[in-house]
Amino acid sequence: MSSHLARAASRIRRSPYQTTAAVSIMTMTLFLACAFFLLAAGSQAILRYFETRPQVNAFFTTDYTPSPGQVEKVKSQLVATGKVDSVKFVSKDDALTIYKELNENDPLLLEAVTAQMLPASIEITAKNPADLKPLADSLKSVEGVADVRYAEDIVGRLSKWTSSVRAIGVSLVSIHIFITFTIIMLIIGIKVANRRDEIALLQLVGATPGYIAAPFIWEGLLYGLSGAVIAWSIAYLVLLYSTGFLVGFLAGIPILPIPVVFMLEVLAGTIALGALVGGLGGLLAVRRYLKA
């Protein structure tokens, strides 16, 4: 095995331009695969987060401030239904405090906003996710309520988004994998054609097809491995760089930072995909020269 690997490495070294082309296309495809996988996994995690939090938010209009009496009345009506786990009133001042916490790193955003610009709201946690819709319907009729949002609504939208990300990702990555596979096959195919006399001689001295094919398969595997490591490193660096921004954007949804173990699993998957594309490309490139 080591002699085949050494021979493959030597052939790679001797053709720097072909190697650059092969590793570049492999890197681009695997980066796309990594990026879409992380996006789909992130969407899925957000979806799960909302699915496990049966919450309804009723927002009052920004120019309306409910009286303490009205708030207490609404609270008691909700508790009386027996479907509510907790009810919390968020005043305009509370909303401003939350807004300031979320945007503490951005003074410009803080300066522009006052409590009067933010809506007061009522946050209700239901005992059962199935009760979210009737609770939301009852809140729509409360005086001054402009908008009612609940998890089922968000979950539905997120589900569509996640499905779209998955579908676009699978299509785009599949097309790129096909292109990469073809290019790897072409590059290794050129090398095979250049060595057809050597292959004929190896066959004549009794080399098995596996022996002849091994260095070409290793070459493909090395392209896959290099592309995978580079693509994963770029994806991880981009993710680490954007973590600060994403934490603010996701406003309290605890999916960041991504655990290192998970990223290592992504690396393993990327290497496996790269090795499959490269190795198979190498095998198919040499196969037609191995027919007895």
- By the criterion CB under 8 A, which residues form the site for another protein? 3, 197-198, 201-208, 211, 292
Taking the least distance from each CB to another protein, the nearer of 214 and 228 is 214
Shortest distance, position 275 Cβ to another protein, whole Å: 24
Shortest distance, position 197 Cβ to another protein, whole Å: 7
Shortest distance, position 211 Cβ to another protein, whole Å: 5
Shortest distance, position 208 Cβ to another protein, whole Å: 5
Shortest distance, position 23 Cβ to another protein, whole Å: 23
Q: Rounded distance, CA 183 to CA 289, Å?
A: 18
Taking the least distance from each CB to another protein, the nearer of 2 and 67 is 2
Taking the least distance from each CB to another protein, the nearer of 200 and 237 is 200
Q: How many other C-beta atoms are found inside a 10 Å radius of the C-beta of residue 206?
A: 7
| Calculated CA dihedral for residues 23, 29, 31, 36, nearest 10 degrees | -170
Taking the least distance from each CB to another protein, the nearer of 201 and 264 is 201
Long-range pairs for 258-265 at CB < 8 Å and ≥24 separation? 258/38, 263/232, 263/236
Shortest distance, position 210 Cβ to another protein, whole Å: 10
Shortest distance, position 198 Cβ to another protein, whole Å: 6
Structure tokens at 126: 């239901």
Alpha helices (H) in the chain, listed in sequence order: 2-13, 16-51, 68-80, 92-102, 107-112, 132-140, 151-194, 196-204, 209-249, 260-287
Taking the least distance from each CB to another protein, the nearer of 83 and 195 is 195
Place of tokens 């290794």: 188
Taking the least distance from each CB to another protein, the nearer of 107 and 206 is 206
Sign of the torsion angle spanned by Cα atoms 43, 97, 243, 269: negative
Taking the least distance from each CB to another protein, the nearer of 109 and 200 is 200
**Closest by Cα among 238, 193, 217, 229 to 281:** 217
Taking the least distance from each CB to another protein, the nearer of 111 and 197 is 197
Q: Rounded distance, CA 119 to CA 147, Å?
A: 10
Q: How many other C-beta atoms are found inside a 10 Å radius of the C-beta of residue 155?
A: 19
Long-range pairs for 47-50 at CB < 8 Å and ≥24 separation? 47/155, 47/158, 47/159, 47/162, 49/253, 49/254, 49/255, 50/151, 50/154, 50/155, 50/158
Shortest distance, position 14 Cβ to another protein, whole Å: 9
Place of tokens 């690997």: 5
- What single DSSP character describes residue 126? E
